[in-house]
Structure 1
Amino acid sequence: MSDDSTPGPDPREIARAEASVESAARALAVAEAKASAAYDAVEDAAGDVSVAEAKLADFQEAEGKLPWQIAAAEADLAKKRRAHERAKARHATVAERVDAAREALDAAHVLLAQARATPATPIPDDAGVPPGAAPEVVAWVEKLTSYLESQEKGDSAWCPQWHEHPEAVWRFTALHREFEISVLEDTMSGWWVNHFDRHAPFLFGASGIFQGCENGHDPDRRFQFARRD
């Protein structure tokens, strides 16, 4: 009898893993296309070398060819050989990228298989209000805020002790998690538009989380829901 209490796989993890597979597949296709073009360039360069060799041989065997004509043919052959070597080097580099892209795709498939087979981690009852920001989140927020320019306006608010505001900790923790995913998946534009821009008004707006900290951190400020009679 199956245990119905066992959680199924996390659909979000599966979606992320599927996106990684798609991204790796696209990267492999691009690498293979470049490798094919580089191979064609090697073949073309080899053909140019053969033509230049035949031309030089004809010049050397023909009567009446002047020394400068033979020297020019020799120089042309040397040029074609250098181009051939450069083409082979470029092809070798691209071929390595193809191998790396195939390995990345294989790894992405492994992670997808794991995501489909791994039960979802239950969400703790107290997951809504983190007790405090993790050190890596604190360091990330300090770096992020040091680069922000769009929030430096008169209608902005900020509290250096943001980590003592539970909602701010929650929002920044979520932003940091999505940031790391976006960096790995190369979807930073989506992170700015779909995550940062959605949280920014609440984190930096004059009427946001830190509106009561204009003259210093206010540890006693708590929002109270209005009750209807």
Structure 2
Amino acid sequence: MDQPPLELFPTPINSMAPPGQQPRPRQWRYPNVDAWVRSWLAPMCLTELVRDSSRTWCPKWWSHPIALERLTVVWHQYELAVQRKDLKSDFLHELDYELDTLWGIPGPFMFCQLPTPDSEGGHQQYAPPALETAPPSAIGAQRTQGEEPGWQ
């Protein structure tokens, strides 16, 4: 039986329906990524971080744009895996990869700390480095809207 391809950013509009029938609305377990992080990810994956000093988590994880983006993708994959009743699919591989990227060193949370009995913990975020605009000779010709990509 063929399964539809995984969507990176699915919308809860329709699910596949047999010919001649109306598609059913897609059922989501969690209304947003924050609800998923609090209700599923934290109890399942983050409880061990308290004892593991080589990994860290940011109490304001959503304020790191890359963390928000990565966790949103993993949440969507979780929702699709639940619908397909297949949590062993790509979801677990993606979850492991993204968590290692987020809480590893280096990673967006590496300067953040979880609260402990002795400290409040905290969020640290640094601005990206200043970038200079690349000269046209370094990047090639400008592309126009609708132009096919290619090398000159």
Q: Tell me, what secondary structure is at the counterpart of 1:213?
A: coil
- Alignment partner for residue 110 of structure 1, among 2, 15, 18? 18
Equivalences for residues 28-43 of structure 1 within 5 A: none
- Alignment partner for residue 165 of structure 1, among 64, 75, 90? 64
Cα-Cα RMSD: 3.5
- Give the structure 2 partner of residue 221 of structure 1: 126
Give 1:226 deviation, angstroms. 9.0
- Alignment partner for residue 192 of structure 1, among 92, 97, 122? 92
| CA separation of 1:16 and 1:157: change in aligned 2, threshold 3 A | closer
Gaps of 5+ in 1: 1-12, 18-106, 115-133
- Alignment partner for residue 42 of structure 2, among 145, 152, 173? 145
How does the TM-score come out when normalised to structure 2? 0.55
C-alpha distance in 1 between matches for 2:128 and 2:65: 12
Percent identical among aligned pairs is 25
Equivalences for residues 18-167 of structure 1 within 5 A: 108=16, 110=18, 136-142=32-38, 143-148=40-45, 149=47, 151=49, 152-167=51-66
Gaps of 5+ in 2: 8-14, 23-29, 114-120, 133-152
Match for 2:80: what amino acid? I
Query: How many residues matched?
Result: 105
8 Å CA contact 1:157, 1:208 repeated in 2: no
- Give the structure 1 partner of residue 5 of structure 2: 15
Residue deviations 1:125-181 (CA, integer Å, cap 9, x gap): xxxxxxxxx962101111311222565522101111011110011001101100000
Residue deviations 1:93-147 (CA, integer Å, cap 9, x gap): xxxxxxxxxxxxxx84538xx9xxxxxxxxxxxxxxxxxxx96210111131122
C-alpha distance in 1 between matches for 2:108 and 2:67: 7
| CA separation of 1:222 and 1:181: change in aligned 2, threshold 3 A | same
Residue deviations 1:10-48 (CA, integer Å, cap 9, x gap): xxx94359xxxxxxxxxxxxxxxxxxxxxxxxxxxxxxx
Q: Quick one: higher RCO (CA 8 Å, sep 6+), 1 or 2?
A: 1
Q: Tell me, what secondary structure is at the counterpart of 2:99?
A: helix
Match for 1:146: what amino acid? P
C-alpha distance in 2 between matches for 1:135 and 1:198: 24
| CA separation of 1:135 and 1:184: change in aligned 2, threshold 3 A | closer
Larger Rg: 1
Q: Tell me, what secondary structure is at the counterpart of 2:107?
A: coil
Q: Tell me, what secondary structure is at the counterpart of 2:58?
A: coil
Between Structure 1 and Structure 2, the one with more helix by share is 1
Q: Tell me, what secondary structure is at the counterpart of 1:144?
A: helix
